[in-house]
Chains A and B, each alone.
Chain A
């Protein structure tokens, strides 16, 4: 069900760990299916000098985190800010549709970590992060029925194709 690249990153995840006294930390969690990711950044000269991750989640969540850290490592912040969840999924040669929904949150965690670094740098205080509750389709991703895999309307309460109840899935 997973691509070779996903399995390769799952089996040999890069950059696992924690940076003590990190310059920026970003945490996202999806309360629906339980994936959670934390990204730690070390910044030098406005560039990602080091990046580590910790992830609680399925095979694709771990592969996403690993791939994301490889993509971001060494990049200037301006460039790293342009990495999207879609880019990560593409680099992994695709993810199963339903995994796009919940486990493809790596870029969100990265963006939060960069924001966290910039806030600290500029002395900004931000209220507790709301984006942790964000769902994949709020980023313009498509939504699929978890039961029959047919594309559904965003926020639909039931699937037009199989009539499954989607209230809990959303």
Chain B
């Protein structure tokens, strides 16, 4: 059975151009880019070529502002811990939001254990951070603000430009975790006004295990990994050159096709949202009607649990993501979904559907049919549904 991928924000498949670039890279037997002999120089040239491609995708002023890492998680850890520690002499306070990815939350928690104070700004019912709330949270001691560009569970896009105006004025480092945005919406680090931006190559059809951190020139950040002077002394360790070359190819393709991909997935998202009410009732749409990723829909199916829904849809040939506590292994309702006001039971029934460039209208229609059957089966066995319908179910 062909599985329809509706889980693109977990990983996007490698493009043929990316595979070709990586295979070629393997066959070229690149040496270590840090070596100064001719073979090393050849590898360094390939590395810098990839860096330029990625820098163009983000519209960096200078390719040197890109540091390659092992992925989004490392980038975020590098940004949050590196910026906080490098600026600790100015103060030991950081501001995050209460819907950040655990990479940010746990990095902040680690800093707390090292004497930093952390303020977590709440979001509104639609999952947006109010820049005024950030303005109120910052103090004379604040050295870092870290607010995600878009949320991985709701798709809500945050007002980063407005927050950047504030942090620039106060000379506070601003990091944005853009792992779910790069490759989905156009990204311009200069227009955004951020100092640090984390991204992952598998969000834009590159290989998993490669990512990067944009570090605006002049921003004080300690390395997370200490050792050699690779990556302009910002990230020690021999680079994953084959992966990085794949990321470079992915960046070039994404930059060339992103408007058309976004347009396509937005049409699929609208089709899904338009037709959803006819397929299932008692469903909460968590996705912001205006400020959200063009390819992502977050739904909470009331009275049923997300992992069961995901497993049944998998049997029907659809790969989706769920945010139920059981599936994520956290044993509690998602902090993002409770932050936007969902109660714990409703949060349990949350599916995240993320379209990719190769999905079709037929995928949407067949998915809705499968969803209708799945929801009916699970509600039929749900004691919560029976109670909600006064025993008539």
Contacts and interface: CB of A to CB of B under 8 A. Distances in A.
A57 interface: yes
| Chain B facing A: main interface SS | helix
A61 interface: yes
Interface string A36-80: 111000000000000001111111111000000000000000000
Contact of B331 (A32, A36, A55): A32
B381 A62 contact: yes
Contact of A36 (B330, B333, B384): B384
B311 A16 contact: no
A22 interface: no
Interface stretch (B48-56, B183-191, B246-254, B300-308): B300-308
Contact of A35 (B305, B315, B380): B305
Given A35-B305, A169-B332, A58 B327 contact: yes
A168 B335 CA distance: 12
Given A27-B383, A55-B381, A61 B330 contact: no
B326 A99 contact: yes
A32 B384 contact: no
B383 A33 contact: no
A155 interface: no
Contacts, number: 87
Given A58-B327, A168-B332, A169-B331, A36 B315 contact: no
Interface residues of B, number: 28
Given A54-B382, A98-B331, A146-B330, 6 more contacts: A11-B315, A32-B331, A33-B332, A58-B305, A59-B308, A169-B332
Interface of A: 7, 10-11, 13, 16-18, 27, 31-38, 53-62, 98-99, 101-103, 146-147, 165, 168-169
7 shortest interchain CB distances as A-B pairs: A58-B326, A58-B307, A54-B383, A34-B348, A38-B383, A33-B325, A146-B331
24 contacts: A10-B308, A18-B386, A32-B325, A32-B332, A33-B325, A33-B326, A34-B348, A36-B383, A54-B386, A55-B381, A56-B303, A56-B305, A56-B384, A57-B326, A58-B307, A58-B326, A60-B326, A62-B308, A98-B331, A102-B326, A146-B331, A168-B332, A169-B331, A169-B332
